[in-house]
Structure 1
Amino acid sequence: MHGNTIVEGLAFPEGARWREGALYFSDMHSHQVLRWSAGRLEVLAHIPQKPSGLGFLDEDTLLVASQHDRRVFRIDLRDPGAEPVLHADLTQAASWHLNDLLTDQEGRAYVGNFGSGAPPGEDITPASLALVDVDGSVRAVADDLLFPNGMALRRGGTELVVAETRSSPGRLSVFDVAADGSLSGRRTLVEFESEWPDGLAVDSEDGIWVASPFSDEVIRVDVDGHVTDRLAVANPYAVALGGQDGRDLFVCTAKTWVPEGAAVQRTGAIEVRRVDVPASELRAVARRSR
C-alpha cells in the first residue's frame, strides 16, 4: 500500500463515518458494509441492493441506506454478519435510488436520493430530502434539491449542510434544524465554479471538508462559506474526520464510479490526509440500543 493508503482493492467506497476508534464505510458495488480498525478490515453486512450512506441509530446499531430498493436497514454491531433488519421504507418519499445518509444526536436519519436516473450532462429531476425518525417513520423535510448528496450538521446540530452535486454551479445549501428535525430557512453557503461537491465532513470550527471527485481534490469551506484549503487527492467521493486526535481526514477514492467497471477493476481505496483542525465533537448518539 502507499504511505497514505490504509485500505485498497475496493470496488467503490462511500459513506465513511468515524466512531470510537473505527472507520465504517460502504463498498457500494461489492454490496458490503465494512469496518476498519487498527489495520483490520471486517465485513459487517451484505446489502444486495447496494449500500450507500451510513449513520448510527445508537451505540450498538448502524443504519445503512440501501440504494435500489429505497430502504434503510439496521445492522447490529454486537453481531457482525447477522442479517440486516428493515428500519424504514422510503419508496414513497424517494423518487429514485437512495444516496447519502446522516444521523443526528437523537438517531434520526436524513436521507437523500438521486431524483432521477439522468446521467451526468443531462438535467436531473429535483429530489426531496427525507427524515427517518427513530421509530422508522418517514417524512419529507426539504424539496427541490438537485442531487442531495453529502451532509453535515454544524453549530451544535442546529444547522444542516447539504451538498447539491448536480446544481449548476455545484453548491452547499444550509438549513436551520428544529427540535423535531424539521428544516427551514434554506440558503446557499457557497457556490463552486466547476466542482461537483460530493461527500462532506465537519470540523470543530464548523468548517466543511468537501470531496470534489472531478477536480481531484478535497476542499475546506469555513463557517462563512470561504474556501480555505484545497488538497490534491485523485478521485475523492466521500470524506470523514477522525483518528486518535481527530485530525485524520479519511478519503474514499475510486478511479471510476461506473458500477460495471468499478466492480471489476477494484481501484477503490481509503486514503488519509492530515489536517490542522480536528473533528467536531458533535457525535452521533451514544444511547444503548432499544
Structure 2
Amino acid sequence: MTPAFTEVLSGFSFLEGPRWHDGRLWLSDFYTHRVVSVDAQGQAKTEAEVPQQPSGLGWLPDGRLLISSMRDRRVLRREADGTLAVHADLSGIAGGHLNDMVVDGQGRAYVGNFGFDLMGGGAASTAKLACVAPDGSARVVAEDLYFPNGAMITPDGKTLIVVETMGNRISAFDIRADGDLGPRRDWAVFGPLPTSTDVGELIGSVAVAPDGAVLDAEGAVWLADATHNRALRVAEGGRILQEISTGALGTFACTLGGPARRTLYLCVAPDFLEHHRTAAREAQLLAVPVAVPGAGWPC
C-alpha cells in the first residue's frame, strides 16, 4: 500500500541511521557530513560535523554519542563538550566503508561494513562484524556476512539480529555474557545466497535487499528494502506481514519513534548512488503511524 505520509524533513543529501533517543529523532546525512536531530515540531539542528561521512549512531550508557565514520573506518565518540574523539579504529577489521551500528545497554557497539569497495566498482565479497567494547577495544565477532547492515538487539539483550543487504536474508546470533556471538542462524530467508561477485547482477537478483531495520514489540522487523522502494514488516521465519510502498523513491533506512514509538520513520531518496547524491539535496524523511510500537535496541 502507499499510505499518506507526513514529510518531516526535506532538502538533505542522503539520510541514514535514524534513531529515536531522548525525545528526538537522530539521523546521519552522508554527504553534508552531519549528524542532525529533529524535535516533535520537525525542527532540525546539527549535533555533530563528521569529517569522513557518518552512518550508524548509538549511545554509551553515560549518554555520549557514538558515530560510525564510514570512510576512515573509525567509530567516533562525541564528548560532553561536543568535541569528537576516536573511540575505535576498525581499519584492520573492515573490508569496506563502515556501515550501520547498534549499541547495547552495556555500551558495546556491533558495527558492520560493506566488505568491499561498493562505490568504486569493486567485486562483491563478504564482510566481518566487529564488536567495540565500551573502552574502545575491538574484535571480530562474526564473519562471512553479505553486506551486514541494519542491526537490532532484542529487549532482553540476548539476541543480535543483523540484516544482510546482499544476502537475501536476516541473521541472528546469541549474545554471550562477554559480548561475543554464538553461531549464525537464519532469522528470515528471502531467496538463495548470491553466486555472482558482480554488484549489478547481485543487486538485481535479490528478492529483498534489507537496509536499515528496527524491531517492534511483537518481535517483527521493519526493514527498508533498498532496491524495491518499500518498507516491509517481517516475522521471524520470513513471512511478510505488511508492505508500505514509497513510490518512485528508494527506501534506505527506517526506525520506530515518537513518544509511544508508534511512528515509522523512513529515510528516502531517488537512489543510493554516491555520484548522484553528493551534490543533490533530494533526500527526505517521511513518517507514517503504525499499530505496534518499537522495542529493544536501537532506542
TM-score, normalising length: structure 2: 0.88
Aligned residue for 2:182, secondary structure, equals strand
Give the partner amino acid of 2:234: V
Change (3 A) 1:263 1:64: same
Aligned residue for 2:31, secondary structure, equals helix
Aligned residue for 1:126? 126
User: What aligned pairs does 1:165-204 form with structure 2 within 5 A after superposition?
Assistant: 165-167=165-167, 170-193=168-191, 194-204=207-217
CA distance in 2, matches of 1:201, 1:179: 23
Cα offset for 1:185? 2.6
Cα offset for 1:120? 10
Instruction: Establish whether residue 100 from structure 1 lines up as the match of residue 115 from structure 2.
Output: no
Aligned residue for 2:210, secondary structure, equals coil
CA distance in 2, matches of 1:165, 1:184: 21
- What are structure 1's unaligned runs of at least 5 residues? 285-290
User: What aligned pairs does 1:208-247 form with structure 2 within 5 A after superposition?
Assistant: 208-233=221-246, 234-247=249-262
Cα offset for 1:150? 0.7
Give the partner amino acid of 1:96: G
Give the partner amino acid of 2:263: D
Please, what is the CA RMSD of the aligned residues?
1.9
Change (3 A) 1:120 1:67: closer
Instruction: Establish whether residue 74 from structure 1 lines up as the match of residue 70 from structure 2.
Output: no
Aligned residue for 2:196? none
Aligned residue for 1:172, secondary structure, equals strand
Question: What's the CA shift string for 1:101-144, capped at 9, x where partnerless?
Answer: 11011011000011111469975111100000000000000001
Between 114-123 and 65-74, the greater mean CA deviation after superposition: 114-123
Aligned residue for 1:287? none
CA distance in 2, matches of 1:127, 1:102: 17
Q: Is the 8 A contact 2:263 2:287 kept in 1?
A: yes
Q: Is the 8 A contact 1:195 1:212 kept in 2?
A: yes
Aligned residue for 1:61? 64
Instruction: Establish whether residue 145 from structure 1 lines up as the match of residue 160 from structure 2.
Output: no
Question: What's the CA shift string for 1:15-52, capped at 9, x where partnerless?
Answer: 11001210011001111111111222110111111101
Q: Is the 8 A contact 2:9 2:286 kept in 1?
A: yes
Aligned residue for 1:288? none
Aligned residue for 1:183, secondary structure, equals coil
Change (3 A) 1:93 1:281: closer
Q: How many residues align?
A: 278
Q: Is the 8 A contact 1:105 1:283 kept in 2?
A: no
Cα offset for 1:256? 2.2
Give the partner amino acid of 1:157: G
Q: Is the 8 A contact 2:147 2:164 kept in 1?
A: yes
Change (3 A) 1:147 1:202: same
Identity %: 38
CA distance in 1, matches of 2:28, 2:264: 17
- Structure 1 moving runs of 4+ over 3 Å: 118-123, 281-284
